[in-house]
Chain A
Amino acid sequence: MRKRIGRQTAEIDNAYIVSSGAIVGEKEGKGPLADYFDIVLPDNEWNEKTWEKTESKMQREAVKLATRKGGVDLSCVDRVFGGDLLNQCISAGFGLRELDIPFYGIYGACSTMIEGLSLSAQVIDGGFCDMAVAVTSSHFCTAERQYRNPLEYGGQRTPSAQWTVTGAGAAVVSRDVGNIGIKHITTGKIVDMGIKDANNMGGAMAPAAYDTIKAHFEETGMSPDKYDLIITGDLGKIGAEILVELLNKDGIDISKNYKDCGCMIYDIEEQDVHAGASGCGCIASVLCGYLLPEMEKGNIKSLLAVGTGALLSQTSSLQGESVPGVAHAVGFKRRENI
């Protein structure tokens, strides 16, 4: 049966969310969504010797948590799609090694969660496997070490800078009918508008989110009001405003039902995060800890989740390169609304 409905979008018929779980750090545990997360870490280390080991533990425990919540045995999971921000995706590789699940390492920067869900939906609906898990994580300390400066260094952050979330999220996807169905996936293209400021990632990624959302609505023929909620991963305050304006110029109005996870996970005024949150763990923990459970309860009937990633590295920035962005989309609908 032909599922392709456009160059970037495909219709999914047989993929449902079984369960999901989210683990976050201290700062996130003090934010507006604190009560929704399954586990809030007591500190940055979680009894591990290095932060990299902590992040690996977070991924592993997120998968175990999500499968446990769904009453699913790890041996029933056919594929795990995992990735993270660290070089060579070591959080995923080392975190998931004990779980004995056939593994695909993926990289979409902060869009990895949605990339993982998109791929999971496609391999399940395509009949290639029965159950898959999508997982990702980020950790403030590991990200700062790799991308920026040592934590004790006395440097100032710019107003457009975003704070990397310490968080991990995992979701179990299956052929078996559940309350939350994955209805559409739209794969993003790499979009680069030449922004060189690595401290303004929201602004750099917004064009990619615009491109994917536009393709999604054009190829499905839907209008934004067909979704209760449209979210992006981590455009932050500035990027979110820009996205709304860019889409508006093309006659697509998302202003009434749009939120950015980077602006939801922290209290921007109180928690001193400048433009908001970023990191793979941002959309992962908000989606897996808060939004999917809300859909399960029936409070949200349809959701378009757009993960946004900035595909830069330290090396590319030092060499004077700009920041390319990518955004992937997954459309969820409650079973009765499909």
Chain B
Amino acid sequence: MNARAWLGLLRFELPERDVRMATATAAAFNLLGMPIDLLLFRNEPNASPWPEIGSMAVGAVILSALALGRFLGRPSAVRTLFFVNGLAVALALSLIVPYFAAFPRPWLPFQGFKLGALVAGMLAPGFAAGLLTIVVTVGLPMAQIPALPAVLRSQVSPVEPWALFAFGLAAAFILVHRLRVRALEIRAREALAESEARRRLAAAYLELRDLMNTPLQSIELATVLLQTPQDRKPGDEAAILEALRRSSERLAAISRELKKFEHVLDRAGTRGGLDGQSAST
């Protein structure tokens, strides 16, 4: 990807509906996934449930707000909520980590963070929100390793924190790929829609031209006949003038019909490109 493509990706915005759906899904994942941790530590008296409950509360509030239609028309705010949800999950997981010291079985460290990073890559509603969430989700545990209790630090695999970093990198690649594919899909769909709109507009113009051509032909013939009085019979002038008048009325009627579409035009004043000069040459 060149610099321009990267810039495009940074600026790319998913449709608002997709942004809301992605954030709601992440919040639901938070709300329904955290109880698993509660179950893990249900028999551990020193394990406070408040980190999980706090994270679930954040997920519940975000999910409810989106379900109730809050933040409609504000996709930036919704993308921020995605990050807030991810931050809540990462913070909760960080607070839970020391509880594993009391576990009788060996600890598989940081699984939740790795899963969270991948989920962020798969769901993020925007590049910035996604990348920040991934950074926080893998960055927090990476920073936490030196401060772990000795019993836990001894269980941390030598591949850490690089495994965390690798998951973060993978999540970032997933994010970039997903958004790029989505951007291309949207661009292709917009091009198709524009092409169809142009085709329909052209068909409408051609229908219009068809309606106009017969009165124009009448006007052409009537004009020539009026210019050559010596070539016509007495009394024909009235009939010619009447035909001219009706043809003019037909064109006026078409013009009146077209007035109905004035409101559709861009009020910025852009026109279709025809002007009197070029049309008459």
B is a partner of A: no
B→A interface (CB under 8 Å): none
